[in-house]
Structure 1
Amino acid sequence: MKYTLTLAIVALTLDTAVASPLNVEARQQGSGAGPYAPGTYKTDNSLQGHTIYYPTKNTGSEKLPVLVWGNGACSTDGRSNSALLQNIASYGFLAIAEGGPNGGGSSNAQTMKQAIDWVTNNAGKGAYANVDASKIMAAGFSCGGVEAIDNIWDSRVDTIGVISSGLLSNTSAARDWRKPILFVLGGQGDIAFQNGERDFKNLAQGVPSWKGNIPVGHGGTLGDANGGRFGKAILNWMLWTMKGNTQAASYFTSGYQADGYQVETHDLNLPISSISQLSAIYPEMSTTIAIVSIGQMGLGIAQLLKAHDYRVITNISARSDATKSRAESAGIELFDTDEELVRSCDYILSIVPPRDAIATAKRVEVALANGRDRGGKQLYYLDLNAISPSTVKTMARSFEQNAPGLRFVDGGIIGGPPSPSESETNGWKRPSVPLSGPHPLHSAPVSGTHLAEVLNTRYLGAELGTASGLKCCFAALSKGFTALALQSFTTASSLGVLNPLLEYMDVYNIGARQKAERGVVGCTGKAYRWVEEMNQIGACFEEEGGWKGDAKVFREIASVFQGLADVVEREGKDEMGDVEGVVGVLGEGLRKERT
C-alpha cells in the first residue's frame, strides 16, 4: 500500500486523534510494546558474530523490514541495546546487532556489511521467508553510528540512523549523502553533538532528514525501557519510512514535542511516506567513477557514463590545457591530486597505454596509502588495459599486499570508443568490456549491476587473467593484421603496384581490403600505444599458449608499430589521411632511416 499524504496534512489529521503518536512506553516493558510482542533474540550459524532480534508472534502476511545496528564503542556485545532492539522487533521488524550475546571484541563497517550481505542472501527463504530485503535501515550509537554512515554508500541501504554520532574524518562527505537520515543527539552534553550538528548542516538541499536534540548526554535514553525517548524517535522513523505508517509520520511534525525534542528538519513536507516513494523522488547518491586517463577511449566512456547519470572525475593536472578543456567540456570534474581522486570515487577505470598500466596502479597504491580515510567506501579498480595475464596477476598481488581493501577487476576493451547512436536500442554504440576475477562488477554494492550493463560488460569467471587474455587473443588478430597490411601496402607502394594490389583484393577478398584500409589509416595516432601491447600479446602467447620462443613474432610486430610511431612523431599526420598518404609518408621515412 502506498501513501501520498504530505507530512503536514498527516499531522493536521492525526493530532486531533492522538496526543502522542505510538506511545511505546504505554504498554509493556522490557521485551517490546508492539503488536507482535514480545520481541526476542537468537543467533544463527549462518551469521557468525551477530545477534538477530525478531517478533515472537506471527506477523501473517506482513513483511519484516530490517534494521542493522552498530553498538557504541564499536562493541560486539549483541545485547548492548537489547531493550531498544526487542521493542523494534515487536513492531514487525528484523533487527540485527553486531556481535553475539555478551560477545567481546570490536566491530567495524565491514561487520555491519556482513549483516547486510546475510539479509540479501537469506531473505525470502526458510525461517526468513517473511523478511523484506528491499527495506534496510543502517543505524547505530556512537561508533556504531559511524559504521552506519560508512554503509550509506551501499545501494541496498534505504535510510540511515545517526544516534549520538557523526563523521570523525572527511567531514565534508555529508554533502554527498542522498538518503533519508535520522539524527538523534543528546544535546550539548553529548560528546558527538558537534559532529552530528555539522553533518546535518552539511546535507544537500532535497535530502529528507530530521534532527532531534534532548539534553540527556551521550547515548541518551537508549538504556531505558524500550530505548526511551531515543528509541521512540528511531521506531517511529522506521515505521514511517519502511512501513508507510502515517501515525508514526506525525511524530516528526508534532509528536516529538511531548518528548522535549528540539528539532530541525530538511524536506519533510513533501508527498512522501514510505521508502518506495522516497526513492522515486530522491535519486541514489551519484556513483562516482574516476577515469585514468582521458584519451579518446577514456573520453568516450566518460561521456557514456555521464549520459547515464554517473559522476565522472579525473586527475589530469600534468596534462595539456587542451586535454583539460576537453575533459571539462564533457562535464568531467577535475581533481588536483591522486589522493583526492581515490578518496572521492567508488570505482577507478584504468584506461592508459599498456606501457603505463603498472605505473598507474602504483599511483593508486601510493594515493591510498597517503590519503585520508575513505570513510568505509569500498573501492573497485578495473584495469581495462591491453596487458598480458601475467602482468595482471602481478598487479593484483601488489594491490593485495599494499592496498588490501581494494577490489581488483581484470578487464579489457574490445571495439572503438562509445558514441551516441540513434540506431542502437539504448542510444549508444558501445565496445564490449570482458571482465574476470573474484570480484564481479555486477555484484558490487554501489550500482554494480547497472554499471556492468551500461559498460556492456561480459563476466568470464573468477580467474584473474581470463579477460586480459581474451583481449590479447582478439588484438593479435585485429592489430596483427593491421601490421601485416602496413608492411604489405608500403612494400607494394615502393614497387609501384599498390593499386593493382587493391584491385585484386576487390576481386578476391573485398572484406580484407576494407579492413586493411581502415586499420592502416586508423592506426597512425595509436601506433605508439600498440608497441607495448604487442609485447604483452607475445608474453601472453608464450606463457599461456605454450608458444615459448615462437611468440617472438609479436616483438617484431611491435617494431613495425614503433617504426610508424617514430615517423608520425617526426613527420606529423597531416599527409596521412588515406592509404596512399600513410604508406607514402611511412615508406619515405623508412628509406631515410636506411640511408
Structure 2
Amino acid sequence: MQIQTVGIFSPGDMGGAIASVLHQNGLRTVAALDDRSERTQQLAAAVQVENVGSLQNLVSESDVILSVLVPSAATQAAKQVAQAIQQLGKSVVYADCNAIAPDRVKEIATIIEGAGGQFVDASIIGPPPHVPNRTRIYASGKQAETLAQLRDYGLDVRVIGDEIGQASGLKMCYAALTKGLTAIATELLIAAHRLDLEDVLWQELSTSQKELFDILQRSIPAMTPKAHRWIGEMEEIAATFGAVGLTESTFTGAADIYRFVKDTPLGKETPEERDRDRSFADVIAILSQ
C-alpha cells in the first residue's frame, strides 16, 4: 500500500508537528476536529491539517492513522477507531504512538486487528520534530515497514522488530531515564529551595555536575506546562517495570511529582503561554510556593 493520506489523532503539540513535517513533504494530513477544543483546532489549522469532521470520516479518508495522545486516552481512541473500521468495512493501518506499557499496546493491537484493521506499535523519542534529526519514531510489528514509508516524507522512522510491544517498551525505558530524572531533579531542587540551600547546591552542581545541571536548566522549565501529560506516562513506566519483576514505586513517585507540578501556576500554562524568558531560579521559586 502506498501512503497518500495520514490521519492525525490528535494534532496537539506533537501530533501537529508531525503533521507539519508530512504536509511540507507532500502528504495529505487530516484530523477529526468535531467537538475538539479551540486550541486543538487552531494548532491543526496552523500546520494545514485538513478537518474532515468526524472520526468515521477520518478512518474513511486515511491510509494510516497516527494516534498521538495522552496515555489515558489511548485505549478509548483505539476502540472508537475500531468501531469506525467495522462500520465502514475498511482496513486502515493504525499506529499507536503513545507512551504506554507493552502489555497495554498489545491489548490495543487486539482491538484494532479484531475489527479488521492493521496495527503498528510505535514510539516517539525526542521533542516535536520542528528541527530535523532530533526526533525518532521507532516501530515494531508485522506492519511496521508500512509505517517506514514515512521516511520518504521527512520523518525518521526506525523499524526495530516484528513484535508488538518492542517499540513501546523502548519508549518506557528511555523515558524512565529522561523524564524520571527530570522528576527527581525537580523534587530535590524544590527541597533545596525550601531548606534555604539553593545557592550552595547550585554552586556545587555547577562545579561537579555541570553538564547535567545545564540539561536540567533547560528541561525543567520546558516540562512544567506538560506535567499533566507526564503523569500517565510515569504510571505506564511503573506498570512496565512491575510486569518484568521490578519495583513500581520509583515511577509512581515520579507521577506524584508531575501531579504536584500540574497544580501549580506553571503547570496550568499551555506550552504557548510559557514565558521563555523566565529565569530558572524563578521557575523553582514558583514551584516551591
Q: What TM-score do the two structures reach when normalised by structure 2?
A: 0.92
Residue of structure 2 aligned with 1:400, choices 113, 124, 130: 113
Tell me the secondary structure at the aligned position of residue 11 of structure 2: coil
The equivalent of 2:54 in structure 1 is 337
1:524–1:565: 8 Å Cα contact kept in structure 2? yes
Match of 1:463 in 2: 163
CA contact (8 A) 1:530 1:558 kept: yes
Q: Which has the higher contact order (CA 8 A, sep 6+)?
A: 2
Which residue of the other structure, out of 275, 278, 286, is the alignment partner of 1:585?
286
1:567 corresponds in structure 2 to: 264
Equivalent residue number for residue 254 of structure 2: 557
Instruction: Determine the C-alpha separation between the residues in 1 that align with 2:128 and 2:8.
Output: 14
- Residue 552 of structure 1 deviates from its aligned partner by 2.0
Local SS of the residue matching 1:488: helix
1:373 deviates by: 4.4
Map Cα deviations across residues 85-108 of structure 1 (whole Å, 9 max, x no partner).
Answer: xxxxxxxxxxxxxxxxxxxxxxxx
Tell me the C-alpha RMSD between the 2 structures.
2.0
User: Which of 110, 115, 128 matches 1:417?
Assistant: 128
**Offset from partner CA, 1:371-400 (integer Å, 9 cap, x none):** x344xxx41111011000000011112223
Cα distance in structure 2, aligned partners of 1:449 and 1:488: 41
- Taking a change above 3 Å as real, the CA distance of residues 328 and 553 of structure 1, as seen in their structure-2 partners, is same
Q: Does 1:383 align with 2:91?
A: no
Partners of 2:19 and 2:184 lie apart in 1 by 33
How far is 1:306 from its partner?
0.7
User: Does the 8 A contact of 2:8 with 2:29 survive in 1?
Assistant: yes
Mapped to 2, the partners of 1:330 and 1:457 lie a distance apart of: 21
Cα deviation, residue 462, structure 1: 1.2
For residue 551 of structure 1, report the CA deviation from its aligned partner: 1.9
2:221 is equivalent to residue 510 of structure 1:
no
Contact 2:20 2:47 in 1 (8 A): yes
Where structure 1 has 5 or more consecutive residues not aligned to the other structure, the ranges are 1-153, 156-285, 421-427, 589-595
Paired with 1:449 and 1:386, the residues of 2 have a C-alpha distance of 19
In the alignment, is the contact (CA less than 8 A) between 2:102 and 2:168 conserved in 1?
Answer: yes
Cα contact 2:225–2:266 (8 A) shared by 1: no
Which amino acid in the other structure matches residue 489 of structure 1? Answer: L
Query: What SS does structure 1 have at the residue aligned with 2:225?
Result: coil
Matched, 1:356 2:56: no
How many positions carry a matched residue from both structures? 284
Partner residue of 1:531?
A: 231
Aligned mates of 1:570, 1:322 — CA distance in 2 = 17
Q: Which residue of 1 aligns with 2:240?
A: 540
- Does structure 2 conserve the Cα–Cα contact (< 8 Å) formed by 1:288 and 1:347? yes
2:17–2:47 Cα contact (<8 Å) kept = no
CA contact (8 A) 1:528 1:565 kept: yes
Q: How big is each residue's C-alpha offset from its partner over 1:246-270, in whole Å with a ceiling of 9 and x where there is no partner?
A: xxxxxxxxxxxxxxxxxxxxxxxxx
- Separation (CA, whole Å) in 2 of partners of 1:524 and 1:570: 5
Q: CA deviation at 1:289?
A: 0.1
Q: Which residue identity is paired with 2:94?
A: Y
CA distance in 1: counterparts of 2:239 and 2:133, whole angstroms: 31
Give me the TM-score of the superposition, normalised by structure 1: 0.46
Q: What does residue 439 of structure 1 align with?
A: 143
**Any unmatched runs of 5+ in structure 2?**
none
One-letter amino acid matched to 1:584: A
CA distance in 1, matches of 2:250, 2:148: 40
Letter in structure 2 aligned against 1:478: T
What displacement does 1:332 show?
Answer: 0.8
CA distances 1:175-227 after superposition (whole Å, capped 9, x unpaired):
xxxxxxxxxxxxxxxxxxxxxxxxxxxxxxxxxxxxxxxxxxxxxxxxxxxxx
Whether the aligned pair in 1 keeps the contact of 2:126 and 2:136 (CA below 8 Å) is yes
Partners of 2:155 and 2:48 in 1: CA distance: 18
Cα distance 1:477–1:309, how it changes in 2: closer, same or farther (>3 A)? same
Match of 2:24 in 1: 307
Q: Secondary structure at the match of 1:484?
A: helix
Alignment partner of 1:492 is 2:189: no
Tell me whether 1:367 sits opposite 2:84 in the alignment: yes
**C-alpha distance in structure 1 between counterparts of 2:107 and 2:39, whole Å:** 34
Q: How do 1:319-334 and structure 2 match up within 5 A?
A: 319-334=36-51
Task: Output one character per residue of 1:62-98: Cα deviation in whole Å (capped at 9) or x when no partner.
Answer: xxxxxxxxxxxxxxxxxxxxxxxxxxxxxxxxxxxxx
- Partner deviation per Cα, 1:492-513 (whole Å, 9 max, x = no partner): 1112222222221121111110
Paired amino acid for 2:190: T
State whether residues 430 and 455 of structure 1, in contact with CA within 8 Å, keep that contact through their aligned partners in structure 2.
Answer: no
- In the TM superposition, 1:134-213 aligns within 5 A as 154-155=1-2
Deviation at 1:418, TM superposition (A): 0.9
**1:524/1:568 contact within 8 Å kept:** no
Higher helix share: 2
Query: CA offset at residue 455 of structure 1?
Result: 2.1
Task: Report deviation, 1:409.
Answer: 0.5
Q: Are the equivalent residues in 2 in contact too, given 1:437–1:461 (CA < 8 A)?
A: yes
Of structures 1 and 2, the larger Rg is shown by: 1
Asked if the contact 1:575–1:585 (Cα under 8 Å) also holds between the matched residues in 2, the reply is no
1:430 Cα offset (Å): 4.0
2:174 to 471, 474, 477: 474
Q: Give the fraction of aligned pairs with identical amino acids, expressed as a percent.
A: 31
CA 1:583–1:318 in structure 2 vs 1: closer, same or farther (change >3 Å)? same
Q: CA deviation at 1:528?
A: 0.6
Rounded to whole Å, the distance in 2 between the matches of 1:450 and 1:393 is: 23
